[in-house]
């Protein structure tokens, strides 16, 4: 979500609308804002007496208890996030069980850095053998 418009701009736009005989459209064009934004500011100024932006909301409360999570990381720092989630859910009460994504967000907020594993690609130590079947398709075989 972008930052709110400055309060000075809000006050000047509302004052320009209420002091003059201009329409919402003319004042909004003058200050290069949307008409709906100006309508909202004027309504807020009339209702509350100020044009301060509403407090930013949003986000979800994280149910992860950070002290427990930090203790589990200290006990075995090389756990994967899946293993860490299982360990956390074993010690947490049943109503406080969390998903792996909650553990990931809590680790990131705490400043932990971790490497993602690419589970789709198997690791090969030695050279691979050549395919045994004949190639299909147009062209000459090699």
> Residue 95: inside a domain, yes or no?
yes
> Residue 127: inside a domain, yes or no?
no
Domain containing 18 equals 7-48
Comparing CA positions, the residue from 90, 124, 89 lying closest to residue 103 is 89
> Residue 23: inside a domain, yes or no?
yes
For each of the chain's 142 residues, which pLDDT tens digit applies?
A: 678 999 999 999 999 999 988 899 999 999 999 999 999 999 999 999 999 998 887 777 778 999 999 999 999 988 888 999 999 999 988 888 999 999 998 998 888 876 655 555 554 554 555 656 666 665 555 5
Question: 15 is written with which tokens?
Answer: 């004052």
Q: What is the DSSP letter of 126?
A: S
> Residue 89: inside a domain, yes or no?
yes
> Residue 73: inside a domain, yes or no?
yes
Phi, psi for 100 (deg, rounded to 5): -60, -35
What value does the CA radius of gyration of the chain take, rounded to a whole number of Å? 30
> Residue 141: inside a domain, yes or no?
no
Please answer whether residues 64 and 92 qualify as being in contact, where contact means their C-beta atoms are separated by less than 8 angstroms. no
Whether residue 70 sits in one domain with residue 103? yes
Q: What is the pLDDT of residue 56?
A: 80
> Residue 70: inside a domain, yes or no?
yes
Domain count of the chain? 2
Report the residue count for the chain. 142
> Residue 98: inside a domain, yes or no?
yes
Q: What is the pLDDT of residue 113?
A: 77
Q: What is the pLDDT of residue 43?
A: 96
CA distance 66 to 49: 42
Whether residue 44 sits in one domain with residue 71? no
């Amino acid at each position: 979500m972008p930052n709110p418009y400055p309060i000075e701009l809000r006050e000047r736009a509302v004052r320009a609308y209420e002091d003059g005989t201009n329409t919402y459209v003319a004042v909004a064009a003058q200050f290069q804002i949307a008409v709906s934004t100006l309508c909202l500011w004027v309504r807020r100024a009339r209702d509350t007496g100020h044009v301060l932006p509403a407090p930013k909301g949003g986000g979800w409360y994280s149910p992860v208890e950070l002290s427990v999570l930090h203790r589990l990381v200290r006990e075995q720092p090389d756990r994967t996030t899946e293993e860490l989630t299982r360990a956390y859910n074993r010690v947490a009460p049943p109503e406080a069980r969390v998903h792996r994504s909650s553990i990931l967000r809590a680790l990131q907020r705490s400043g932990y850095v971790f490497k993602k594993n690419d589970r789709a690609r198997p690791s090969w130590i030695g050279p691979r053998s050549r395919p045994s079947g004949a190639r299909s398709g147009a062209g000459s075989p090699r």
